[in-house]
A and B are shown apart, each in its own frame.
Chain A
Amino acid sequence: MSSDLVFALVLVTALAFDFTNGFHDTANVVATGISTRALPPRTAVGLAALLNFVGAFISLKVATTIGTGIVSNQAVTLPVVFAGLIGAIVWNVATWRLGLPSSSSHALIGGLIGSALAASGTGVIQLDSLVSKIIVPGVLSPILAFVVASLGILVAYRLVAKLRPGPVTKSFRVGQIFSGNLLALAHGTGDAQKTMGIITLALIAHGNLPSQGFHVPFWVVASSATVIALGTYSGGWRIITTVGTRIIRMDSAQGFSAQGSGSAVILAASGLGFPLSTTHVISGGVMGAGAAKRLSAVRWGVAGNIVIAWVLTLPAAALVAGCLYLLMELLGVSTVGPVVVAIVTLALLAALGMRHLRSAPPPVREQTT
């Protein structure tokens, strides 16, 4: 009975994380398309949500990496998964509130590591897999997106250099509609799988699935896809204000190049089972497309913040999740601890949400040109 309650809490929390992931990352997907006016905001966000949903059905390799490549199976219990998820959500919301760009994926992975460490010690961390599948690709991927976008925009500028700017801009805007959609698809493919991996881990810990082999049930895929799409759709409206004012000014060729390079890196990584951070890859692509034209076009201070947030996210989420697990252990890890942590987290999030609603700026008017 108590295990069923904790399982229900884990399931709801995992889907809540999925929602915040879509909500948090919408700006990454739609930013360049909106800033170059390739698509009106409403259409861009709606399409991104739809393609996030479709993308979640394409591959399950990242879900398998999350489920089998971070901590060993015997360390995975429902309270460990629950504390990991809450740690990730708390870090995500805190960084969102502070305006720091952070990765939902790294927060989730850090959370799981922190709670497993608190529960079972260092022996359960799969260090080899963590380094080879997550840390090294995570460090290299933004650099790769930067290089791909830089080379791409240099080739593009060389090819269209002698043409009249008007038709070229219009053509690249059309290209951006497709590259933006591909990016949304890649985001759904990469990020929804992380929640699928976590829910499948919870199903194994609860005894609903065998611990041998790693099979993601269809209902898990469908629910993760639906929730990330809903998060994307609802998140966009709040983040567009930030996107409209803080993103670097780019032309449509740069937008196309940033989106194209981001999609290529994320889709290639998803196929290889590397759970990359969408935030970092797209940031790398945007900086590459900007820097290739003019180094000073990139706000290097913002780039520095992204790097600092990248370094902090995994250990900080691990610390929060580890502390939460220890707190749950003090209160009773089977039922009371998770319930108290859930209630306190929910209350804090509600308070934060109410405060944010009160201080939210008026909605952004849709651009029609």
Chain B
Amino acid sequence: MIGSVLAASIVDVGGLLELLWVSLAAGVGVIAVFSLSILSWSLANSRNSQGRAIAAVAYGAVCVISLLVCAAAVVLGLIALSQK
């Protein structure tokens, strides 16, 4: 009991939790969104070759938005870092 209280007082629990969630959200999030952009790009191409223009445009839009989200995450992260 005393040991765990002492450990909690020495260890920066708040900082570690922030490191944990920021790394998970940014790392997994960007990898997932970039993969989504690849998927939507591929689907846009296949729908386009099938002559389904509306679906192709919709998937193309998802691809562009995904890439923009990735870029925005990186830029926002760097801005937040530089202002700390």
Which among A140, A155, A267 is the interface contact of B35 at CB below 8 angstroms? A155
Known contacts: A58-B81, A189-B81. The answer to whether A182 contacts B19 by CB under 8 A is no
Least CB separation from A161: chain B residue: B39
Least CB separation from B22: chain A residue: A268
Contact between B16 and A137 (Cβ–Cβ < 8 Å)?
A: yes
Which A residues lie within 8 Å of B28 (CB)? 148, 151-152, 155, 261
Contact between B81 and A159 (Cβ–Cβ < 8 Å)?
A: no
Which B residues lie within 8 Å of A164 (CB)? 42
Least CB separation from B79: chain A residue: A58
Which among B12, B24, B27, B32 is the interface contact of A159 at CB below 8 angstroms? B32
Contact between A155 and B31 (Cβ–Cβ < 8 Å)?
A: yes
Contact between A272 and B19 (Cβ–Cβ < 8 Å)?
A: yes
Q: Does B65 contact A (CB under 8 A)?
A: no
A interface bracket (residues with beta carbon within 8 Å of B): 35 or more
Known contacts: A59-B84, A159-B38, A267-B81. The answer to whether A144 contacts B12 by CB under 8 A is no
Which A residues lie within 8 Å of B27 (CB)? 148-149, 152, 260-261, 263-265
Number of cross-chain contacts by CB at 8 Å: 122
Which B residues lie within 8 Å of A261 (CB)? 23, 27-28, 31
Q: Which of A132, A164, A185, A273 has the most CB of B within 10 A?
A: A132
Which A residues lie within 8 Å of B70 (CB)? 178
Cα A360 to Cα B13 in complex, Å, equals: 47
Cα A15 to Cα B74 in complex, Å, equals: 30
Which B residues lie within 8 Å of A141 (CB)? 19
Cα A153 to Cα B24 in complex, Å, equals: 13
Contact between A131 and B11 (Cβ–Cβ < 8 Å)?
A: yes
Q: Does B10 contact A (CB under 8 A)?
A: yes
Contact between B12 and A132 (Cβ–Cβ < 8 Å)?
A: yes
Which among A136, A147, A153, A172 is the interface contact of B38 at CB below 8 angstroms? A172
Least CB separation from A152: chain B residue: B31
Contact between B12 and A270 (Cβ–Cβ < 8 Å)?
A: no
Least CB separation from B31: chain A residue: A152
Residues 1-56 of B contacting A (Cβ, < 8 Å): 10-12, 15-16, 18-20, 22-24, 26-28, 30-32, 34-36, 38-39, 41-42
Cα A152 to Cα B84 in complex, Å, equals: 27
Which A residues lie within 8 Å of B39 (CB)? 159-160, 163
Known contacts: A58-B82, A61-B84, A268-B23. The answer to whether A260 contacts B30 by CB under 8 A is yes
Nearest-Cβ distance from residue B46 to partner chain A, whole angstroms: 9
Cα A141 to Cα B41 in complex, Å, equals: 34
Cα A153 to Cα B15 in complex, Å, equals: 26
Q: Does A3 contact B (CB under 8 A)?
A: no
Contact between A171 and B19 (Cβ–Cβ < 8 Å)?
A: no
Least CB separation from A182: chain B residue: B74
Known contacts: A260-B31, A264-B26. The answer to whether A163 contacts B42 by CB under 8 A is yes
Which among A140, A167, A263, A265 is the interface contact of B42 at CB below 8 angstroms? A167
Binding site for B on A (CB under 8 A): 58-59, 61, 127-128, 131-133, 136-137, 140-141, 144-145, 147-149, 151-153, 155-156, 159-160, 163-164, 167-168, 171-172, 175, 178, 182, 185, 189, 253, 256-257, 260-261, 263-265, 267-274
Pick the 8 closest A-B CB pairs, nearest first: A152-B31, A264-B27, A148-B27, A156-B35, A268-B22, A132-B12, A159-B35, A264-B26
Known: A140-B16, A265-B27. 6 other contacts (CB 8 A): A59-B82, A132-B12, A163-B39, A164-B42, A175-B34, A267-B77
